[in-house]
Structure 1
């Protein structure tokens, strides 16, 4: 099935963060004050460049087990939160209009923001392929997302990390 085929483009299946069974944020901090043991860095990747439905689709395929949350502020700024489903890793990226560097905190065995940046770089390096170039193969044993062709092992490796 091709994802971008208008006959199979199903909005309700696009984003995993549409699911409602998410652990509460407090589970990630384990009773500590934020930023707990989060390590601070900065990034040039603007959080909005990870947040459109298609960016989240592509990045989400390469960064499994992670969902996004946005904490919006009155002035248009927001904090983009990334959480691993196992509650062991999290990241936050603060967005303010007009900035070119954004503050990031990460904690846990996975550096989630680093994984997101790497997935975005891979997508950019391939010319930001659109929905029509992605497909999905579902079998009883596995679900595999692919780029350009289900027979292309290179495309599967790229999407899988």
Structure 2
């Protein structure tokens, strides 16, 4: 009887990663659908003003955040792909290990989905498709996408989770 209970407990524990993978999959799906839609609707560099502070634009980023290393010769594509893959594997390990920590795992799932969304772009196109362009006056933030947004929200949730943990 004790063996049966232990097996059931193990199965429940390993299955608890599923909701977090579902969040990551949803981020990837929304990210890829939005990028495909923009890529089919816009020409490279084309912009459409939606409000006084927001445009849609088709931009390509061969670098990392804020176009870091974008002007390099192409090696950065593989470096950032390897980093994303390594991060994804580490996040999967953390999700499995801490599956019961809701806020922490939500943050991990958002980062995982964002990293894999941008990894898909790097592998298929050689660059990341960005299209969200916010601006104030003549100043523009670098264009970004849903994957980038998920990563930023995940990072903010990490900070909140850590602050909550420290205050306990």
Q: Do these two structures clear the TM 0.5 threshold for a shared fold by scoring above it?
A: no
- Structure 2 length as normaliser, TM-score? 0.34
- Structure 1 length as normaliser, TM-score? 0.35
Name the structure with the higher helix share: 2
Higher relative contact order (CA 8 A, sep 6+): 2
Name the structure with the higher strand share: 1
